[in-house]
A and B are shown apart, each in its own frame.
Chain A
Amino acid sequence: MTPSIPPHSSHTTLWERWVSHAQRNPDGQAVIHYVAGETPRVWSWQAIIERAARYAAALKQAGVRPGHVCATVLRHHPEFYPLYMGIEAAGAIPAVLAYPNARLHPDKFRDGLAGIARNSGLDFILTQRELEENVRPLATGSASSVRDILFPLDWNDEGNLPPAPTLPHPNVDASAPCLLQHSSGTTGLQKAIMLSHAAVLEHVTRYGHAIALTESDRVISWLPLYHDMGLIAAFHLPLAFGIPTIQIDPFEWVMAPVLLLDAIASEKATLSWLPNFAYNLMADRIRDEDLEGIRLDGLRMLINCSEPIRAASHEKFLRRFAPLGLRASALGGCYAMAETTFAVTQTHADSAPAVLDASRSALAAGRFEAPSPGESVMRCASSGAVISGCEVRVADEHGLDLPENKVGEIFIRSVSMFGGYRNNPEKTAQVLKDGWYASGDYGFSHNSQLYVIGRKKDIIIVAGKNLYPEDIEDAVGHVDGVIPGRVVAFGSEDDSAGTEQVCIVAETSRDQAPQRKALRRAIVEAGMAIDVTIARVYLAPPRWLIKSSSGKPSRSANRDRAASELKPEGTA
């Protein structure tokens, strides 16, 4: 067995770490850019560092200085990686933002980007010509922090990508910020998380040990890089350790999920991270004939993260792909969040997550208990044990520690904790107290394993993407026919897809069938305009929604009431 990689504690910035890989292993693979049906573009360490140095020089010419925030809004592209590294080489701070989905209305996209620019203080936006018309106005308003919009994919060897005869130096120290991540959403109110070079390097080192990373590992991912799982686990982790990362286009993967298995086999990948829905999607939707020649024996770990782990999804996936050589012990789990850089807990590298059958009524009463015969059972999959550098407590509503088997809110302390939401002291104060981060997730510990079973916040997680009910309610509340402010959005379990689906209850005074049909359609379309698929619409008469003590309609109470009293509207 290859010995695991020792920590490289002598490097202070990401760039210095990467340069050391290029010096030690110039021909080694750094990034493999994968496109279906094409020969993958392989960046060796030497080539990617040289290219990044040229981007750093070009960025400097464009006015980028150490500490500037450079947001990227780019599609899956082979130049993305050296560009990202070039931003680091210039001492600036990359912030990867989502490329707008075709469903997202251009105005919503621009408003969202303007909000991020304002709240997070973006200095430059690096994007593609296709978005120029929509993005350009952001750099002109006097209130905007945006200094310029840049189109780095236009830069080329002949023109403005200057040679870099010497390696740049970022001129920042380890405590300086190295990246800015945003929570998901489209409203521009996303929380911005700034992480330092020290936090990221420290975290990936510790996390690498938790998953027994070796120099022969090869990471593969279709995850978007604006998400912490894609950015930290599948990009920064391999780059920091000097092992290859294979990057698949998220848009291509979701249309043809077999691509991941195909690439695992052809690229001999050993490690990947997936949100829970992906296990169901691949088990259900990949056809046998597409699996010909694919073997998964070399896969060391597939780590389930970013949605609650559903034991049934793992079982289904294993049943389907064990004949291809997938081992049960390769299915892992992890509990992670951007606020702690990434992972908090991780299952053991050589074993599947422990699964506990729990009595639902006992869980509802705040404790784990084995079910009595005939009782309703919740199957809870472990997210693993706390990784080094992190501490976890489960606490009651007064913040007092709870013993094992008691359900409470999960609080985390970590050596790689974020310093607070950028430009948002109120939100920071709500979640960060005495160095402990209040996750808003509920769970319990049992035999030193953490089981995450729900959450305090009303976030809906659809296919690994966090959706905020407020955003959806706001969009639906503006639909003609919906009584303003009388809307709730909530998630409901979709067992077959292994994720949640979005449901709406909206009050309306319309009572004729054709009008209601049109209203349902308008509500679904309002969701589409913010890139949210609304699966179920309940229309209720005026004054139907139950209000909470704050005077706003209560999501949980109305979810339960809708399920028992209303029928979802038929389709329009």
Chain B
Amino acid sequence: MDERLADAFSRFPGYFSAHVLLSVCALALSFAISLPLAVAASRNAAIRWPVLLFASLIQTIPGLALLALFYPLLLAISALTQAWFGFGFTALGFKPALCALTLYAMLPILRNGVTGILGVDAAAVEAARGMGMTDRQSLLRVELPLAAPVIMAGVRTAAVWTIGAATLATPVGQTSLGNYIFSGLQTENWVFVLFGCAASAGLALAADQLLGLVESGLAQRSPWRIWAGAIGLVVGIAAGLSPLLASQTKPAYVVGAKNFSEQYILAEMMADQLQAKGALVSRKEDLGSATAYHALAAGEIDAYVDYTGTLWTNVLKRKDNPGRLAVLQQLTAELKKRDGVVILGTVGFENAYALTMRADRAKALGITDISGLAAQAPNLTIGADLEFLSRPEWAALRGAYDIQFKHQTTYQPTFMYRALADGEADVISAFSSDGRIAADHLIILSDPKGAIPPYDAVILISPKRAGDQRLLAALAPLVGRIPVSAMQQANYTVDRDQNKATPAQAAKALEQKVGLRPASRK
């Protein structure tokens, strides 16, 4: 079997059961909230409009944004409960995903609930009243049973949406089938992307068919259909959750990674170091750039690699550039003092934002540095990753060089390199440790005015692990160990089109190369 496919299958039980658990909880919670709301809205025209409007409004928020918004919201609530009641809670992972998906699933259940209850034959409702049923009896014995097929159709729609949207839970740190899609997209592992899509589509389809069986059973008053559907759902959920129940040992350490190849590789290396010391490790991958630091400061992950320039501008909100060493020293002191976060040390290479061009194109235009680029920029197009143009580094560059492009386009990193190769973009916001720079014959434009701060890769340790000698000792060998050329090469083995390596394989190769594991041991 193809190695990537085998890798995908080996991850399946964990991803699948997490996905099933999240979807089932969100759907159940949404149903528990939406049905009473639908009953209230069907009884009272005054709340019907606002309730349905609210649910529709939620639906207009893109799923990814809704999930992301719950992270800062829960973080703020956690800070409040910490202040008032003396306890906080983790704001990453299951909780924000559950909240967002619950809201997301409400609209179809609410709308079908209201439509279903209001659509019950008026003669049956009057008969219920006329025979002496109370409002509650009429609802439970006549209206809800008669509206059940319509309500069930809403649940069915909600289930398909929820299972699909649950793939977006990955960036807030909740494992799901989306892990295949997000990491596959970053490393151009299309086998992973397809596998993730197929798995989530298959799950959605199965849930849809089983709920459809229940729905038609309700509509045709056929008990065997209802039972067959219900039993199928219960068996399916139990089977989906079984890997979760089987592995209830809590991992000792959580290693974090942002959403690109280098981060996956470094996380694998940190995990390897810890496992070599006999520790249990779990990974939280595909974290957003800002989420990762917050998660570390809150103790939701124990260690990850970040870059000095990113911390300098985004966390400390500094705009100046006092030089490489001063940035590192001030960061180490400030983060310790402010958040209790420990910088264990630099990894040994820099991964800076670097304006990068194709070598032939730069030569033809006679551009060697950013000053030269600024002079010709009004005729050129820049391709940037999704966040660069809104980052302070870009503001600093524009301030220092007064640079103005004809067009600005944003891409996923993978497609950004394609755009540069195809000539759709003349210059891109690359990363200096990216293996594609050497492989694609690109040149990095120098920054004579020092507008972009340094980006030394540093290992960060969470406050609660600051005194954990086992962790510190396990990760210490990584400090100063990896030169930029080695990192570029490792990144390239994951990012290239042909003969791709998985991040785990790249990590093993890199470990061997920098002497972190004996070549004899496999």
Q: Is A bound to B? A: no
